[in-house]
Amino acid sequence: MKRFSISGSINIGSIRPFTKEVDAATENAAKSKLYALFGSNNGIKRSKVKIEKIEQL
Residue 12 has pLDDT above 90, yes or no: no
Residue 20: pLDDT band (50, 70, 90) is: very high
Digit-coded pLDDT (tens) for 28-46:
999 999 999 999 888 889 9
Domains of the chain with CATH codes: 2-56 (3.10.20.10)
Q: Is 17 left (phi over 0), alpha (psi -120 to 50) or beta?
A: beta
